[in-house]
């Protein structure tokens, strides 16, 4: 294993300055409401309903989530980012545009008339006994996915958008595809983007630069990425076990993790030679394949320094963003995972709605915690794959 990107970053926080990532993916307007149970008798009650009172300033009026988290992390480490995403053409989309403008984010937000912007509303209620908030209810407003895909293809499989993409790709060191299946990244669009990315990458190489590194954070439709250029494919354990029809298990048990790795490598190793599976509290697994041989490495999680202060939200998005950023300085997934683990461990400790900042990444207590408690990866073995590897 090479020296990890995490070690390099902690020794040189300017490591990512001058680097650029291009992000294409689903975004969401996340709204959080901090509430108290309504005192008895305050409100008219008609059918025995339970009523919550939103606290003064308890409505955050929205933050951008999902793929946008990669832009936040990039800014925190001094890297440039560009975001391509679709939304509806509704009040939620207007709020997204306001937030992009305030943050100074370079974003191509393609608005689709008649499509609902992905919106999540989380209602958290204060428990007077503990003084802590708990998630009581989450309400999602999702688009008609079939309509969104059709309209997105019509707008984006066009010379104007693809020319823009190719120009941005040529000046980018890495690309992150963040897919949550909300009606943006269809197979047809991905193929068109892949063709333009390959052309841009070839020009980078002819000019003496490294090719564009590509990270995919998938949902459940893995097949639509088949045949595309992918350096690192990053599902979580739920998506990975579901992709190979394997029940979710205790991934802290080596035998369970190896069984999952073999089945994933057998089915997808020929398509995605480096697959990183995030395992929650158990860290991450790297499944590497070459020909008929596969290898498995387990990267233990870096435990959160203050786990009681936060809630595990946005961790997967931040992990994928950290992988993409790491590949701008080193093309080895094994060297990238420790930095992604570090970023995810900090995100776990953030309170509800919070996201890590540059000061979190370089805070002396967090740096000391990483150096004291991070553990090297464990090689869990090699295995032979059958002749049908990668044939889905």
Tens digits of per-residue pLDDT, 192-203? 999 999 999 999
CA proximity to 337, closest of 263, 294, 283: 283
User: Is pLDDT at 128 greater than 90 in this prediction?
Assistant: no
Q: What is the pLDDT at residue 127?
A: 84
Determine the pLDDT at residue 1: 46
pLDDT classification of 7: cutoffs 50, 70, 90: very high
Residue 129 has pLDDT above 60, yes or no: yes
Q: What is the pLDDT of residue 299?
A: 97
Look at residue 185 and tell me whether its pLDDT is greater than 70: yes
**pLDDT 10s digits, 68-83:** 999 999 999 999 999 9
* 301-310: pLDDT as tens digits: 998 887 666 5
Q: What order of strands is seen across the sheet that includes strand 174-178?
A: 106-112, 80-88, 20-25, 174-178, 213-217, 232-233, 274-278, 284-290, 293-299, 378-384
Fold for 5-38+70-384, please state it. Answer: 3.40.1190
Q: What is the CA radius of gyration of the chain?
A: 22
Domain ranges of the chain: 5-38+70-384
Torsion sign across C-alpha atoms 39, 44, 47, 49: negative
Residue 85 near residue 184, CB atoms below 8 Å: yes
Strand partners, 374: none
Strands (E), the chain: 20-25, 27-37, 52-59, 63-66, 80-88, 106-112, 119-127, 132-141, 174-178, 213-217, 232-233, 274-278, 284-290, 293-299, 378-384
- Indicate the pLDDT class of residue 314, thresholds 50, 70 and 90: confident
Q: What is the pLDDT of residues 330-348, one digit of tens each?
A: 989 999 999 999 999 999 8
Residue-wise pLDDT tens digits, 81-96: 999 999 999 999 999 9
Considering Cα of 63, then 110, then 184, then 76, what sign does the dihedral take? negative
Distance in angstroms (rounded) separating the CA atoms of residues 150 and 91: 22
Lookup: tokens for 372: 């004291």
Q: How many Å separate Cα 190 from the centre of its chain?
A: 17
Give me the chain's average pLDDT, please: 93
pLDDT band at 47 (very low <50, low <70, confident <90, very high): confident
Count of residues making up the chain: 392
Buried b (16+ CB within 10 A) or exposed e, 279-289: bbebbbbbbbb
| CA angle in degrees (0–180, nearest 5) for 357-362-368 | 130
Structure tokens at 258: 């190896």
Q: How many percent of the chain have pLDDT more than 70?
A: 96
pLDDT tens digits, residue range 215-266? 999 999 999 999 999 999 999 999 999 999 999 999 999 999 999 999 999 9
Per-residue pLDDT tens digits for 149-166: 999 999 999 999 999 999
Per-residue pLDDT band for 391 (boundaries 50, 70, 90) equals low
pTM greater than 0.75: yes
Cα 78 to Cα 26, 301, 343, 354: the distances in Å are 23, 25, 15, 20
pLDDT > 80? residue 392 = no
Collapsed DSSP state (helix, strand, coil) of residue 113: coil
Residue 350's pLDDT is 83
- The percent helix, strand, coil of the chain (3-state, each to 5) is 40, 25, 35
Closest by CA to 52, choosing from 33, 38, 42, is 38
């Amino acid at each position: 294993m090479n020296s990890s990107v995490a070690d390099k970053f902690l020794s040189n926080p300017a490591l990512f300055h001058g680097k650029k990532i291009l992000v294409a993916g689903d975004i969401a307007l996340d709204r959080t409401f901090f509430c108290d149970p309504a005192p008895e008798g305050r409100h008219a009650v008609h059918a025995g309903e339970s009523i919550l009172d939103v606290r003064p300033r308890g409505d955050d009026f929205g933050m951008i989530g999902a793929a946008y988290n990669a832009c936040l992390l990039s800014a925190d480490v001094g890297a440039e980012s560009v975001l391509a995403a679709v939304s509806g053409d509704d009040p939620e989309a207007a709020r997204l545009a306001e937030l992009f403008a305030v943050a100074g984010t370079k974003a191509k937000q393609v608005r689709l008339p008649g499509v609902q912007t992905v919106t999540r509303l989380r209602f958290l209620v204060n428990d007077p006994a503990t003084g802590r908030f708990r998630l009581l209810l989450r309400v999602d407003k999702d688009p008609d996915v079939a309509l969104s895909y059709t309209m997105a293809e019509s707008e984006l499989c066009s010379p104007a958008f693809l020319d823009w993409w190719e120009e941005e790709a040529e000046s980018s060191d890495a690309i992150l595809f963040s897919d949550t299946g909300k009606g943006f990244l269809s197979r047809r669009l991905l193929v068109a983007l892949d063709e333009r990315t390959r052309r841009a990458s070839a020009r980078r190489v002819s000019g003496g630069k490294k090719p564009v590194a590509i990270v995919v954070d998938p949902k459940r439709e893995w097949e639509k990425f088949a045949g595309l250029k992918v350096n690192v494919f990053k599902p979580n354990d739920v998506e990975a076990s579901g992709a190979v029809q394997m029940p979710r298990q205790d991934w802290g048990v080596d035998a369970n993790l190896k069984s999952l790795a073999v089945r994933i490598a057998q089915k997808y190793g020929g398509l995605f030679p480096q697959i990183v599976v995030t395992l929650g509290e158990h860290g991450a697994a790297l499944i590497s394949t070459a020909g008929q041989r596969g290898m498995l490495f387990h990267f233990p999680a870096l435990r959160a320094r203050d786990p009681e202060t936060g809630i595990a939200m946005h961790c997967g998005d931040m992990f994928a963003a950290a992988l993409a950023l790491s590949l701008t300085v080193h093309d080895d997934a094994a060297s990238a995972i420790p930095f992604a683990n570090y970023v995810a461990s900090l995100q776990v400790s953030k309170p509800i709605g919070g996201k890590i900042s540059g000061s979190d990444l370089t805070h002396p207590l967090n740096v000391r915690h990483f150096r004291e408690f991070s553990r090297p990866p464990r090689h869990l073995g090699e295995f032979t794959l059958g002749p049908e590897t990668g044939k889905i």
